[in-house]
Structure 1
Amino acid sequence: MKTTLTFIILLITSITLAQDNVITDIVVQGNNKTKTSALIKLTSIKKGEVLDSLLIEKDVKRLKRLPSVAHAYYQVHEKEDGYEVIYGVEENFTIIPSANVYTTNDDEFAFRVGLYEFNLLGRNITIGGIYQNDIYPSYMGNIRAPFLFGKRAGLALNYSNITTEEPVFLENGTADYKYNNTSYEILGLYQFNLQNRIELGVNYFNEDYEYKEGVTDPNVPQDFDVNKLLYKLIYEYNNLNYDYQYVSGFRSILNAQYVISTEDVLPDFFIWWNDFLYYHRVGKKGNWASRLRFGLASNDESPFAPFAVDNNLNIRGVGNVIDRGTGVIVLNTEYRHTLYEKDWFVLQSNVFVDGGSWRNPGGDFDDFGDSQNFRLYPGVGLRFMHKKIFNAIFRIDYGYGVTEDATNGFVFGIGQYF
């Protein structure tokens, strides 16, 4: 009898406490452009549920990752009948121009400019386009709606018409080709939870190679046009935490593709690479950031190998597509330090080392240790940052090669290099 009475008392007490700890209201404040409904949709707590501070902290972490949000926080106020939860956000300005410019000591010059809206209709939809001039003009456009079908599912559409001059590395020397790639892509987006998401899709594209100058090879056509179909999988683990310009945590991004060709001259191939990114706060003003990329592709003896050595992809100062391979190992590591911070403006210095090696087409893993395939480029840079405009980071880096036949040059861009 005594045991039964004790159980009843504990049950009544727990019910009473649960009723006192329920969420009676959820409020979002500080948002002007972003729809309140769009932000509430991304939160984990609901009215009438028991207050859970861990879920609220995860919600704040999720909100900080949105392009529309510069910073987020929360408050909990006790009311007579429960608790009111307030999510506070500081919004970003989200209509952003983009720019990338690079030069090398052989007077090479190329640029890319664009304009993007990262918060279309106040619902964190990204839409925009890019113009590129790298000897020839190119155009790109895309729209990305990660929460189109609710909290977890979305859609992305991409179009590009890219024309460049590409070096093709043959046994007896190098040839220059005018290369055009026109592609149409659709991707389904799904987020399992705060840390894990996936993208699945298909890309239909056309590649057109036109010989310009250099050596020739009877086994390599001088002009050809080929249609291809690409199946794509992207898997991301993201455990990063943002505090304005500072980042901490770990992130991993796997990109796997299978390409089907309609012409025998360019065989079907499989390619994958994984970026491992690690960020660590150093004191109050420092941030150490590193990116390790490892990737492999079908090891065909083709002059059109998929992995390139390039300024804007992996090695700052190296030049525009100076080599190609069927495997890649690259490490970018840098120390970022805030030199000056006042209200919205931040001036940040950067000291970096970019290094990597490639596997030759048809080669083996020993190629990664070949000194001719290895590049090492230390350098310095500056970052001019606006804390209330999404990705408003103007960067300038100067990389100086210290390995065999090295170059040096400036790389300009919008946003951190990685």
Structure 2
Amino acid sequence: MKKTLTYLIVLCSFYMNAQELLVADFKVQGNKKLKSSFVKKISNIKVGEKLDSTIIEADIKLLKRLPSISHAYYEILRSEGNTCTVFYTIEENFTIIPSVNVYTTNDDEFAYRLGLYEFNLLGQNMIFGGFYQKDIYSSYAINFRAPYLFSKQLGLAVNYQDLTTQEPVFFNNTSADYKYKNVSTEVLGLYQLNFNNRFEIGLNFFTEDYNYKSGATQPNISQELSAHKLMYKLIYEYNNLNYDYQYVEGFKSLLNFQHVTSRKEEQLPGFTIGWNDFLYFKRLRSKGNWASRLRLGVSTNNDTPFAPFSVDNNLNIRGVGNTIDRGTGSIVLNTEYRYTLYEKGWFALQGNTFVDAGTWRNPGGDFGDFVDSQNLRVYPGVGLRLIHKKIFNAILRIDYGVGITKNSTQGFVFGIGQYF
């Protein structure tokens, strides 16, 4: 009996080995602008090695995350003997994309940002572009990002920004408006550890200027401030999202840690800040998508009116207004249900209902501030998404949020791309 069992095991093992396929050839098709050499460069499938469906599935999942690709799938064709040819079929996105963000409140605030980006420069999935912003004052930025510049794991990002805005500063239950200017140059090294994990590390050299415009004054708060600063920056991302056109499923965590030093510590002191975004997406039947983002953030608790976390229409709470408060800690939850109302060919119309809620720690305060009703903001609302499925991030977004907490506002937020 034992000999018979051993014989059967050996026979089964022999049969299974005989069925193992070797990858004789690997081809990329369907792509026009995106280089086939780039797809092969970042893929893990290897010619001459055994066929492994888990590697192929991971490659396809990675490809569908790229800005240059709207969809991807694979096919395996058996060749002579125990060999096969693997085809990756690419459906490309149009990747020269304008960006538009417009935000208003019932206080007649109005600001906008217009940009233009190429998300597949030279067919290598490099991003290059910039924006112009009008938020009382004019601002602009130029950005370059090449995640796979040196290898499938190592890349580079360079950013320049000249940002000028009118910023409210809060102190002793009063406020003042300052003209704020930030000119920065940033260089980041990009490292892709594996399919799910990546890092960014680098330096940001910037100058901050604050100039008093109007509002309350106080002797110990300067009306003109200027400081040269250096920021050390670290970003860690865990990404296990899977995309199917406008639908997303899975979990993602994004940690952003910054340490800032200043030459004028007595006026604009350095600080350390960190925040983590936890994102969760769930497909609900064929047309529904539940999406949530939880942001937890904390910084050095300096008792200063120039605290780093802000409550803002375009960042965290839709309808709240343009920078209506500041803090040294932040807890924000954005959750929404997206439903595809209409879909045909390249076009989809999505409706959404949302709730944005957040609370902040006051500068110099304690963690009890998070449960203080004065710091709580809750804004439910509704929105629409007009989606072009063949153009990267071509989602025209409009949301209207209405505050239900004390001293709330309401307003529209327009933009390109999902809110999160």
Q: What letter matches 2:76 in structure 1?
A: V
Alignment of 1:153-164 (within 5 A): 153-164=154-165
The secondary structure found in structure 2 opposite 1:38 is helix
2:175 paired residue number: 174
Offset, 1:15: 10
Secondary structure of the corresponding residue to residue 321 of structure 2: coil
Q: Distance in 2 between matches of 1:217 and 1:184?
A: 33
The answer for unaligned runs of 5 or more in structure 2 is none
CA distance in structure 2 between the partners assigned to 1:317 and 1:379 by the alignment? 9
Q: Pairwise CA RMSD of aligned residues?
A: 1.8
Aligned to 1:132: 133
What aligned pairs does 1:29-178 form with structure 2 within 5 A after superposition?
Answer: 29-81=29-81, 82-171=83-172, 173-178=174-179
Question: Given the two structures, how large is their TM-score scaled by the length of structure 1?
Answer: 0.97
Q: Percent identity among equivalent residues?
A: 64
CA distance in 2, matches of 1:353, 1:168: 27
Match of 2:221 in 1: 220
Count of residues paired in the alignment: 415
Whole-Å separation in 2 of the counterparts to 1:41 and 1:163: 41
CA distance in structure 2 between the partners assigned to 1:412 and 1:224 by the alignment? 33
> Does 2:235 match 1:234?
yes
Aligned partners of 1:246, 1:383: CA distance in 2, in Å?
12
2:354 matched to which residue of 1? Answer: 352
Residue 407 of structure 1 is aligned with which of 403, 406, 409?
A: 409
- 8 Å CA contact 2:225–2:268 kept in 1: the answer is no
- Tell me the TM-score normalised to structure 2 length: 0.96
Counterpart-to-counterpart distance in 1, 2:13 and 2:106 = 78
The one-letter code sitting in structure 2 at the alignment partner of 1:106 is D
Q: 1:355 to 1:36 in 2, by over 3 A?
A: same
Q: Distance in 2 between matches of 1:351 and 1:16?
A: 53
3-state secondary structure, aligned to 1:240: strand
Q: From the superposition, tell whether residues 11 and 338 of structure 1 become closer, same or farther in structure 2 (CA, over 3 Å).
A: closer
How far off its partner does 1:16 sit? 6.3
Give the letter for the 2:36 counterpart. T
Q: In structure 1, what is the equivalent of residue 18 of structure 2?
A: 17
Cα distance in 1 for partners of 2:296, 2:113 equals 26
Whole-angstrom CA distance in 2 between matches of 1:61 and 1:351? 28
Which residue in 1 is equivalent to 2:322? Answer: 320
Conservation of the 8 A alpha-carbon contact between 1:172 and 1:215: no
Cα displacement (A) at 1:129: 0.3
CA 1:12–1:288 in 2, change beyond 3 Å: closer, same or farther?
Answer: closer
The Cα shift of 1:17 comes to: 2.2
Q: How does 1:358-369 map to 2 (within 5 A)?
A: 358-369=360-371
Go from structure 1 to structure 2 and tell me whether the alpha carbon gap of 1:377 and 1:15 turns closer, same or farther (over 3 Å shift): closer
Q: Which amino acid letter does the alignment assign opposite residue 23 of structure 1?
A: V
Q: Give the 5 Å matches for 1:157-306.
A: 157-171=158-172, 173-263=174-264, 264-306=266-308
Taking the aligned partners of 1:15 and 1:286, their CA distance within structure 2 comes to: 42
Local SS of the residue matching 2:45 = coil
CA offsets per residue over residues 366-405 of structure 1, 9 Å max, x none?
1011111000000000000000000000000000011111
Distance in 2, Cα, partners of 1:153 & 1:39: 15
**1:13: Cα distance to partner?**
3.8
> How big is the shift at 1:42?
1.1
The 8 Å contact of residues 241 and 247 in structure 1, kept in 2 or not, is answered as yes
- Following superposition, the deviation at residue 21 of structure 1 comes to 1.0
Q: 3-state SS of the aligned residue for 2:310?
A: strand
Give the structure 2 partner of residue 396 of structure 1: 398
